[in-house]
Amino acid sequence: MELVEAIILAVLAASTPLLIAATGELVTERSGVLNLGVEGMMIVGAACGFAGAWLTGSILIGALFGIVAGTLMSLIFALMALGLAVNQVATGLALTILGIGLSGLIGAGFVGERITPAAHLYIPGLTDIPLIGRVLFGEDAFVYFSLALIVGVWWFLYRARPGLILRACGDSHVSAHALGYPVLRIRTFAVMFGGACAGLAGAYLPLAYTPFFIPGMTAGRGWIALALVVFSSWRPGRLVVGAYLFGAVTILQLHAQGWGVGIPSQFMSALPYLATVIVLVLLSRARTGGSTAPAALGTVFVPDR
């Protein structure tokens, strides 16, 4: 029972940054913008989040540092891809490269430093329940926030009028513009939201997952978050399933190495990314009714003057 509980807790922790980053990217892509710079925004968020927490001693301020860093990085993308109508794919890739280098510069003075990780909830009587107590009532605030975030995004996209307008911009920016909606402004706010989520997801890694900062600690999680949006068919409910599924694959490959499974460790380490590729291929072959992606995804929009 203790082993099962430990595995479940590890899966929740590994899945949380994926869920937060993918939720932000889902909103961005629903507006019709494809931002491939999630990895870069996450790693800058990790560096700034750790720096903020180490300098102030506050996990909350560290999280805010990560959010602000991710948002500022997203504004660079918005300026290029929306303001100057530069190709979104090239801009996103450039943002990732910039983020990796910038995070190394910001975090150079903090490598090897440690902080006290985010505190976990403890409710006497409930947290002590075998198996489910720590899973339901013993997590850190980031885990609960990630679940509240996905519920809020679902409500926004499907129950709120601004969410409907945002989806309209993603499906047909020409029609949305003809109806008088400020497409570029809406997309800019969506990109900023995606950047804030990516920055928070990156900050989660040194603030709660591991209480220290190392260069490249996102380890490709931004790319998995991008794949999760496709895996979920741009639907928030499926995104939760996908995030925890890939989190489970990540944790189980670590336990498999500890159990002495006779498979090369290099292959086991690559398993989460291999699973990502396989799932995307299967989803592509399974779709018979056409793509479920927003119709205007990745398309440059220049409003009539």
Angle of CA points 231, 149, 248, to nearest 5°: 45
What pLDDT score was predicted for residue 149?
Answer: 97
Measured between alpha carbons, how far is 150 from 69 in angstroms, rounded to an integer?
Answer: 21
The tens place of each residue's pLDDT in the chain, 305 residues long, gives 778 888 899 999 999 999 999 999 999 999 999 999 999 999 999 999 999 999 999 999 999 999 999 999 999 999 999 999 999 999 999 999 999 999 999 999 998 899 999 999 999 888 888 888 888 999 999 999 999 999 999 999 999 999 999 999 999 999 999 999 999 999 999 999 999 999 999 999 999 999 899 999 998 899 999 989 988 889 999 899 989 988 888 888 777 766 666 677 677 677 777 777 787 777 766 654 445 789 999 998 988 75
Measured between alpha carbons, how far is 119 from 93 in angstroms, rounded to an integer?
Answer: 35
What pLDDT score was predicted for residue 153?
Answer: 97
Q: Spell 141-179 as b/e; 16+ CB within 10 A means b.
A: ebbebbeebbeebbebbeeeeebebbbbbbbbbeebbee
Measured between alpha carbons, how far is 98 from 191 in angstroms, rounded to an integer?
Answer: 17
What pLDDT score was predicted for residue 128?
Answer: 86
Residues in the chain: 305
What pLDDT score was predicted for residue 17?
Answer: 96
* Cα 77 off chain centre by: 16
Q: Spell 76-106 as b/e; 16+ CB within 10 A means b.
A: bbbebbbeeeeebeebbebbbebbbebbeeb
What pLDDT score was predicted for residue 61?
Answer: 97
Measured between alpha carbons, how far is 111 from 88 in angstroms, rounded to an integer?
Answer: 33
228's tokens: 């999760």
302's tokens: 């220049």
| 252 class by beta-carbon count within 10 Å (0-12 exposed, 13-18 middle, 19+ buried) | middle
**All residues at 6 or more sequence positions from 24 whose CB lies less than 8 Å from its CB, including other chains:** 38, 193, 194, 195, 196, 197, 198, 201
* Cβ pair 142, 202 in contact under 8 A: no
| 135 class by beta-carbon count within 10 Å (0-12 exposed, 13-18 middle, 19+ buried) | middle
What does 131-146 look like in DSSP terms, one character per residue? THHHHHHS-BHHHHHH
Domains of the chain by residue range: 2-219
Question: Which residue bears the tokens 């959010």?
Answer: 67
